[in-house]
């Protein structure tokens, strides 16, 4: 567990706040190609420790193969939405704050709360995620 947390903190420290033009250009690298998507969202188990009266929610999908024909990024600093238009629908993530383009040509987008905890992740790659 500690190893996973250290790896995540290290990854978070490498991410930068989303720059719309850069992310738009990076998204173009994947347009009209078969790619792998990782999409995850959670309010985390930690939410119940802070007086949250709601139900703990989350979603997770990894290595779903998609091809998008259009991409879009909307929002203002600290609250972006990225959408991928597929032939038969849409995939999108909302609440994104940070991004990184890795040495493995993966685009990693993430949303973090004010305490740095992950709330949403959208990741794109031409190769399956390990």
Give the highest mean pLDDT range of 39-43, 54-58, 101-105.
101-105
Average pLDDT over residues 67-73: 97
Which pTM value belongs to this model? Answer: 0.83
Domain total for the chain?
Answer: 1
CATH at residue 109 = 2.70.180.10
> Does the structure show a pLDDT above 70 at 57?
yes
Residue 130 placed within a domain: no
115 within some domain: yes
Q: Which residue segment(s) compose the domain that 98 sits in?
A: 2-125
Residue 40 placed within a domain: yes
H/E run at residue 15: none
Query: Does residue 62 lie in a domain region?
Result: yes
The answer to the question of residue 76 being in a domain is yes
Whole-number pLDDT of residue 13: 60
Question: How sure is the predictor about 73, in pLDDT bands with cuts at 50, 70 and 90?
Answer: very high
Exposure class string for 12-27: b at 16+ Cβ within 10 A, else e = eeeeeebeeeebeebb
Q: Which of 107, 108, 72 is nearest to 90 (CA)?
A: 72
């Amino acid at each position: 567990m500690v190893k996973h947390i250290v790896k995540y903190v290290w990854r978070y420290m490498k991410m930068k706040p989303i720059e719309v033009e850069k992310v738009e250009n990076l998204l173009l690298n994947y347009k009209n190609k078969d790619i792998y998507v990782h999409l995850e969202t959670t309010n985390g188990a930690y939410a119940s420790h802070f007086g949250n009266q709601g139900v703990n929610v989350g979603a997770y999908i990894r290595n779903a193969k998609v091809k998008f024909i259009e991409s879009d990024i909307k929002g203002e600093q600290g609250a972006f939405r990225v959408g991928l238009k597929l032939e038969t629908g849409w995939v999108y993530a909302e609440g994104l704050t940070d991004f990184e383009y890795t040495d493995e040509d993966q685009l990693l987008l993430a949303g973090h709360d004010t305490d740095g905890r992950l709330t949403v992740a959208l990741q794109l790659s031409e190769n399956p995620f390990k």
